Amino acid sequence: ASTMATMVEALGLTLPGASAIPAVDSRKKVMAQLSGRRIVEMVREDLRLSSILTRKAFENAIVVNAAVGGSTNLIIHLLAIAGRIGVKLNLEDFDQLGSKIPLLVNLMPSGKFLMEDYFYAGGLPVVINELGDRLHQDAITVNGKTLRENNAKAECFNREVIASIDKPLQPEAGIAVLKGNLCENGAVIKPSAATPALMKHRGRAVVFESMDDYHARIDDPNLDIDASCVIVLKSVGPKGYPGMPEVGNVDLPKKLILKGVKDMVRISDGRMSGTAYGTVVLHISPESAIGGTLALVKEGDFIELDVANRKLHLEVSGEELQRRRAAWLPPAPHASRGYVRIYLEHVQQADQGADLDILAGKSGSVVKGDLH
């Protein structure tokens, strides 16, 4: 939720400083009142979202998300919004624009502070000011002013919480977009939340076909797994688990936790909460439920993760994958009628924003005729 609020402010869709005000702070109510007044003024001025949500605005949101160490969920939401209004945005943009941006905000899970500490340190206006020309500072916002005009005088009150651009917490943050035979259309990982030693790793796959399978076996004392293994979770993507839940950062086996293991490489076609930590590869596309390569992974296969080189590779020959694909059977639909059936028929893959394909494309249709 904090990432999404930050994203909206970075897009220029809130008044300056709105995104991080704590729920119990009286300034929250004041901001709500000011926002309501501004909405009425925007109608009178004919200042529309189409004038604000430009390609520049989306690029700003990607850069800001990297600087604050925001959630991977931002990717899906931004892609979906861009798809609905006709702005060209793709998965690679998140890597190209965000991977070289330094981490400036010391927030959990990448850091140690909470959102209220961030707000009292100065909040997003300070981050925007620090980023300088790394952002399109001339982008227009809802108050009719540019990003630069809104945030130029922002002052930091705690450098332990918000670092300067000259002394960042990490030289590079952002979200890494991976490619390989296991994720032809892409997968993502959040480096600032991962264990550095696992960013380049090769391990034996321990495969769970679904969340039910995972819950049934993960704490089995006889499960053949050690800290070097790669936990593979299938069937939690947009179609495989309608809604694409935040289950990608599954818990480690209890027997390994008791031995002091704190992190393992985990991969899935699902999502992960922005508050979660770990070396977790997410949003694998195409997902397993539609026959993506993830569906073909078997127990004992070896998987190579190389974040620096943006690589996720299943060490299985092309010939063997063809044989497995020929034998693969698609799962039964989750629903035969109703909204879930409509969702299953129209939901896009994660690399497209997991939105409904019937909603993609620039808006503007008008309903004509009498409605009674």
Write down the pLDDT at residue 371.
63
Measured distance CA(62)–CA(101) in Å, rounded: 10
Phi-psi region of 180 (alpha: psi -120 to 50; beta: other; left: phi over 0): left
**pLDDT at residue 372 tops 70:** no
**pLDDT at residue 70 tops 70:** yes
Q: Tell which residue, 132, 119, 269, 274, has the closest CA to residue 192.
A: 274
Measured distance CA(16)–CA(5) in Å, rounded: 12
SS3 call for 365: coil
273 is annotated as an active-site residue: yes
- Give me the catalytic one of 164, 268, 273, 285: 273
Write down the pLDDT at residue 174.
80
User: For residue 87, what are its two tokens?
Assistant: 């702005």
β-pair type (183-189, 200-208): unpaired
SS3 call for 15: coil
311, β-bridge pairs = 179, 306
Give, as one character, the DSSP assignment of residue 251.
Answer: P
Measured distance CA(102)–CA(163) in Å, rounded: 10
Domain ranges of the chain: 2-151, 176-327
pTM attached to this predicted model: 0.91
Distances (CA, A) of 303 to 88, 149, 233, 297: 32, 49, 13, 9
Mean pLDDT value of segment 159-179: 92
276-307 pLDDT tens trace? 889 999 999 999 999 999 999 999 999 999 99
62 alpha-carbon distance from chain centroid = 10
74-132 pLDDT tens trace? 999 999 999 999 999 999 999 999 988 999 999 887 788 999 999 999 999 999 999 99
**pLDDT at residue 327 tops 80:** yes
Distances (CA, A) of 85 to 23, 43, 51, 78, 254: 31, 19, 11, 11, 46
Contact criterion met (CB below 8 Å) for 198 and 265: yes
Alpha helices in the chain (DSSP H): 2-11, 27-45, 49-52, 55-68, 73-85, 91-98, 115-120, 124-131, 147-151, 211-217, 254-257, 318-327, 338-346
Measured distance CA(289)–CA(344) in Å, rounded: 11
Q: Which fold has domain 176-327?
A: Glucose Oxidase; domain 1 (3.50.30)
Chain position carrying tokens 């997991």:
354
Measured distance CA(12)–CA(10) in Å, rounded: 5
227-247 pLDDT tens trace? 999 999 999 999 999 989 888
Residue 367 burial (C-beta neighbours within 10 Å; 0-12, 13-18, 19+): exposed
Mean pLDDT value of segment 338-356: 95
| Cα first-last separation, the chain | 40
Residues 6+ apart with CB under 8 A from 33: none
**pLDDT at residue 366 tops 80:** no
212-222 pLDDT tens trace? 999 999 999 99
